[in-house]
Amino acid sequence: MDARASAFTGEAPARIDELIEARALSVVFQPVVDLVAGCAVGYEALVRGPAGTWLESPTALFAAARETGRYERLAIVCIQETLRAWAAHGSPGLLFLNMSPRLVQRAGFEPGRARRFLESLGLKPATMVIELTEDYPAIEMQHLRDSLRLYRSMGFRVALDDLGEGFSSLRLWSELRPEFVKADKHFVRGISKDAVKRQFLRSIQHIARRAGSQVIAEGIEGAQDLRAARRLGIAYAQGWHLGRPNAVPAPAP
């Protein structure tokens, strides 16, 4: 355990303040693979808390932030540290940047400021994909659409995470028309042996073609499921069979 991590071994939710102040976070990158070319088209950034502590898990980390009213502060620091790590590694391809819709539509989260921060790191909006997470219990749809329109005008693209996990994600697909949709891993794992799951992905692929979206199949963990996804014409995939999260954006096998 490093010196930064040792300060966060307590159980009090207030420890989140210390973590944010110290920016005691690590970032790993998991490849998103083009199933035709067989190479990584980009990487999803995943944030971890201090190693060896109760805040290491992103689930525990963001739960503690929500409980203490520090979710937005933590989310902004996560984005900043992710972009710094991405720039340090030479930014190979697209960066899928997890963001809650509540953060995108947050008052004061101004796109121009985001562009200036990217420029200071030598990054371009055209290489960024805003990946909207499932954390959207209450959305001002018009406000979210307007905010994303500004980001898109700068060159950002949009991905919708965990498609199929709830009815809200289907409505967001219809309303926002994202460039990418991520099929939830529940509907991907075992598709080589499950005709119902294959039909679900086939239907998603059909809608995606009409909507101008590209499908990313999450949770590919074996060669048989990978072949099944390719046969369905799925454009991109992600999963441990294709590449595990790594501190350095590693090429897919």
d(CA 203, CA 160): 17
Give me the DSSP letters along 133-198: -S--SS--HHHHHHHHHHHHHHT-EEEEEEETS-HHHHHHHHHH--SEEEE-GGGTTTTTT-HHHH
Lowest-pLDDT range of 42-46, 54-58, 235-239:
54-58
58 with 48: CB under 8 angstroms?
yes
**Hey, what amino acid is at 192?**
S
Whether the CB-CB separation of 50 and 4 falls below 8 Å is answered with yes
Determine the angle formed by the axes of helices 111-120 and 71-88, rounding to 10 degrees.
30
pLDDT at 67: 85
Cα separations in angstroms, 102 against 64, 117, 211: 17, 20, 24
Q: Is the pLDDT of residue 164 over 70?
A: no
Q: What is the domain partition of the chain in residue ranges?
A: 3-237
pLDDT confidence tier of residue 167, bands split at 50, 70 and 90: low
Distance of alpha carbon 181 from alpha carbon 160, whole angstroms = 5
What is the torsional sign of CA 182, 45, 119, 134? positive
Residue 135 has pLDDT above 70, yes or no: no
| pLDDT tens-digit series, residues 75-120 | 999 999 999 999 999 988 999 999 988 888 876 667 678 888 999 9
Model confidence at 8: pLDDT above 60: no
Question: Residue 6: is its pLDDT beyond 50?
Answer: no
pLDDT at 207: 93
Please say if the pLDDT value at position 243 is more than 70: yes
Lowest mean pLDDT among 9-18, 139-148, 227-236: 9-18
222-250 core/surface letters (b: 16 or more CB in 10 A; e: else): eeebbebbeebebbbbbbebbbebeeebb
Mean local confidence (pLDDT), 51-66: 89
Q: Confidence band (pLDDT; 50, 70, 90) for 197?
A: very high
Tell me the mean pLDDT in the region 131-140: 75
CATH architecture of 3-237: Alpha-Beta Barrel (3.20)
Identify the pLDDT of residue 171: 83
Whether 251 and 42 have beta carbons less than 8 Å apart is answered as no
Residue 7 has pLDDT above 60, yes or no: no
185 neighbors 222 (Cβ within 8 angstroms) = no
d(CA 156, CA 131) in angstroms, rounded, equals: 10
Tell me the average pLDDT across 127-136: 86
CA distance 38 to 189: 20
d(CA 6, CA 23): 14
Q: Which of 195, 211, 107 is nearest to 163 (CA)?
A: 211
Q: Please report which confidence band the pLDDT of residue 250 belongs to, taking 50, 70 and 90 as the band edges.
A: confident
For residues 142 and 159, what is the distance between their CA atoms, to the nearest angstrom?
Answer: 18
Helix axes 141-154, 167-176, angle to 10 degrees: 50
- Cα angle vertex 204, ends 202, 206, to 5°? 70
Contact 150, 130 (CB under 8 A): no
